[in-house]
Amino acid sequence: MTGLDLVARLCGGNLQHCQVGSCEITLDPGPIGAGQFVADTGTAGSICLLMQVAVPCLLFASADCSLTLKGGTNCDMAPQIDYTTMVFKPMAEKFGMHFDLDIRRRGYFPKGGGEVVVTSHPSSGLVAVPDALIERGEVVRVYSRSFVAGNLPPHVSTPAEDTGRAAVTELLDAASSGGAVDQYLQDQLILLMALAKGQSRMLCGPLTLHTQTAIHIARLLTKAEFSLEHIDSEEGKETCMLVCEGIGHINSHLQLPAESS
């Protein structure tokens, strides 16, 4: 609900029935403006999920925007702020999506308290990436980061050994998939592929449910065309090539007026 309210304020839209228990929510958007906005989940709700709904909208704003987002920076069942900074952001920039992050304070479950300032820069339109998402390169170094949220009660904390084991297992699974994009980046790039001008290709492992859902919604809202080819079905390994013909959505704020004859 915090994310929907933020988007409604960004575009001066009319948001109705955005409350706990609603079966239907309606948003009638207006033109995306510019300025400074604040969104606070009031809990450890994910700041990165707020970014997922807001930053793509600001690509088509009239000028730079500043978002002060409050909540959780490192939460379960959501992208980590470090992943957003180190993985998603560099890939998004290949499409022409530019934003800056300032992590003022980290926030963890259950209290939250994190704060991130996002400065977003408008784009005239995103460009397709036909090759950037299919060339995985060679793994030459592996390192990790570990954060401690303080003294947590036993029912919340996780033994360090279990955390490390889970991280290594995920890394090995991603490396053996044969893809250039891991399971967490898949769905986050679908909207950018749909809005970009031209054909984008993504080499990845099996599509996650999140990715399948993102493709379904992107088709409904943008009419972008997606196709999937299974190119490797070795035992224990499945690699897919996802192709999208983007619609080339443009930022009307940054288009020069047509010359009069």
Residue 256 reports pLDDT greater than 80? no
Q: pLDDT (tens digit, 9 = 90+) per residue, 106-126? A: 998 888 999 999 999 899 999
Phi/psi at 88 (nearest 5 deg)?
-65, -45
Q: Note the pLDDT of residue 255.
A: 67
Extract long-range pairs of 153-157: CB within 8 Å, 24+ residues apart: 156/109, 156/110
Residue 61 reports pLDDT greater than 70? yes
Residue 186 reports pLDDT greater than 70? yes
Please give the average per-residue pLDDT across 235-259, as a whole number. 81
216 is catalytic: no
| Contact assessment for residue 87 and residue 81, using Cβ atoms and an 8 Å cutoff | no
Q: What is the largest CA-CA distance in the chain?
A: 74
Residue 82 reports pLDDT greater than 90? yes
- Label residue 258 by pLDDT band (50, 70, 90): very low
Residues in Cβ contact with 187 at an 8 Å cutoff, skipping those fewer than 6 apart: 208, 210, 211, 213, 214
Residue 50 reports pLDDT greater than 60? yes
d(CA 64, CA 60): 10
Q: Note the pLDDT of residue 236.
A: 61
| Contact assessment for residue 102 and residue 73, using Cβ atoms and an 8 Å cutoff | no
Please give the average per-residue pLDDT across 61-86, as a whole number. 95
Residue 235 reports pLDDT greater than 60? no
d(CA 123, CA 64): 10
Q: Note the pLDDT of residue 120.
A: 93
Please give the average per-residue pLDDT across 198-218, as a whole number. 96
Question: What domains does the chain contain, in order, with CATH numbers?
Answer: 1-123 (3.65.10.20), 125-261 (no CATH)
Closest C-alpha to 160, from 171, 170, 149: 149
| Contact assessment for residue 47 and residue 70, using Cβ atoms and an 8 Å cutoff | yes
3-state SS of the chain? CHHHHHHHHHCCCEEECCCCCCCCCEEECCCCCCEEEEEECCCCCEHHHHHHHHHHHHCCCCCCEEEEEEEECECCCCCCHHHHHHHHHHHHHHHCCEEEEEEEECCECCCECEEEEEEEECCCECECCCCCCCCCCCCCCCCCCCCCCCCCCCCCCCCHHHHHHHHHHHHHHHHHCCCCECHHHHHHHHHHHHHCEEEEEEEECCCCHHHHHHHHHHHHHHCCEEEEEEEECCCCCCEEEEEEEEECCECHHHCCCCCCC
d(CA 85, CA 48): 10
Of the listed 98, 121, 210, 249, which one is catalytic?
Answer: 210
Q: What average pLDDT does the chain have?
A: 90
Tell which wins on pLDDT, 109 or 16.
Answer: 16
- Label residue 149 by pLDDT band (50, 70, 90): low
d(CA 75, CA 147): 12
- Label residue 138 by pLDDT band (50, 70, 90): confident
- Label residue 259 by pLDDT band (50, 70, 90): very low
